Structure 1
Amino acid sequence: MTPEESSDLSMLGEIIYGNLFGGTIFTCLLFGLYIASFSIALYTSGKTGIRGRPRKVLWGCILVLLLCNVWNFADQIILLIVDIKTTFMVSESLDTVLNTYFTLSGEVTIVDSVPFNINASIFNFL
């Protein structure tokens, strides 16, 4: 293995390590907290009922936020799977692996911004 290939492989390892410990574990923790708070809100609202227009609008916004958070969580997990697949399971040259990785991660990053923008719009609305 040449020094260039060794540094490229080291860079891919750093990216995967950063995505796993910097993003995915933190995302899983926050997603669990969000689901717990959503369950508490659902339980308390089930006791009192959803009457009146303001509560219906609020629950509509909460459901949209839930869908956006599920979308973001699935996107983070898919990004980690794509990272691992393109790094360790492609048996081609290292240049091909790098090109495939950056192409696929670029496509996933474009989709990343959509749930964030929807969440920001709802929070500005509320």
Structure 2
Amino acid sequence: MPIVLSEVGYRYSQGLPWEKSALRNINLQVEKNEILGIIGPTGSGKTTLLQLMNGILTASQGEVLINGKNPANMRGAEMTRLRQQVGLVFQSPEDQLFENRVYDDIAFGPRNLGLTGSELDNRVK
């Protein structure tokens, strides 16, 4: 599932006096099974970028494609399928779902899809 960002930008509070540009002109492609590290200081747009890459936020400019489709145009079952294929683990435990272990947070989604036992364990690992 490739994720492609073309000339992507994001502005918080767009159109308001306190509008803030978080990202500008981002071009990036992430291939299936590719590992990507995103580093930078606090407030540099790392979390915003990840939220754009998994469809939580919609780009203010440019285009985000996940497996050839723009998540901004997805609704209902199509968005549900995307959510089943793309995940995000936050850096701070207090921002996670509710578990004490990363394993359990990652397992939350697959468990809710009916996976159990070794199948669940293989997916999480």
**Richer in strand (by share):** 2
TM-score range, shorter chain: under 0.3
**Richer in helix (by share):** 1
Structure label with greater radius of gyration: 1
Greater RCO between the two (CA within 8 Å, min separation 6)?
1
TM-score normalised by L of structure 1: 0.26
